[in-house]
Amino acid sequence: MINIKCQAILFDLDGTLVDSTVCVERHWQEWANKHSLDAKEILKISHGRPTIDTIQLVAPHLDAETEAEALDKSQAKNLSGVVAVPGAIALLTSLPQNKWAIVTSGNRQIATNRLLHVGIPIPECLITTNDVEQYKPHPEGYLKAARHLSVAPDKCVVIEDAPVGLQAASAAGMKAIAVTTTYSISDLSMADVCISGLENISVKPPISEEPANWIELETQILDCK
């Protein structure tokens, strides 16, 4: 067990707070079949990336903007298989609204619909692909969330499940906790701390809503180095 202090926690969404694996893989499989592509190869690189980036990588011959728009609309509407990650709701409800944010590689409609579907509260600060010009692994999203919460980047902790998100956190100058819900420990070595799930994080009260006050987290860690 170790203690980590911060003034804000910035969460990734898919794979970190929401388990959308079944839903996402089903949509990519259908899309791959339609275009005679290998879904397994797509899924190796798609997690943590915006849909349009993945399509540009795997099918540069297609109109990525049109394809991504259609695929994202379907994912926002068809939510079968989307569930909250164990420990997510308990952790979030233990934090004041101005102490946490979500930074996702999905668009606002997908993010909002998934949060509502699993019963996770919509945060005051929700940064999606609609809000940034540069996507993860670029740090823009995490830096924008820190500014919104009026917290310096080095006083933020990011919780992520994907290498591209950890790269974004590192580029933003933030500490990162990796959860091994999607990738193996060996893929998450750039994180400061690795945990097996959010149920291994507890918040030590009391927490004031004053921006300058600290949050103390107690985490049961794995060795990711």
Angle, CA of 131, 132 and 133, to the nearest 5°:
140
192 is catalytic: no
Q: How many CB atoms lie within 10 A of CB 36?
A: 7
Given 12, 19, 53, 72, the catalytic residue: 12
Angle, CA of 155, 156 and 159, to the nearest 5°:
150
Given 14, 19, 53, 72, the catalytic residue: 14
38 is catalytic: no
- Tell me which residues are annotated as active site: 12, 14
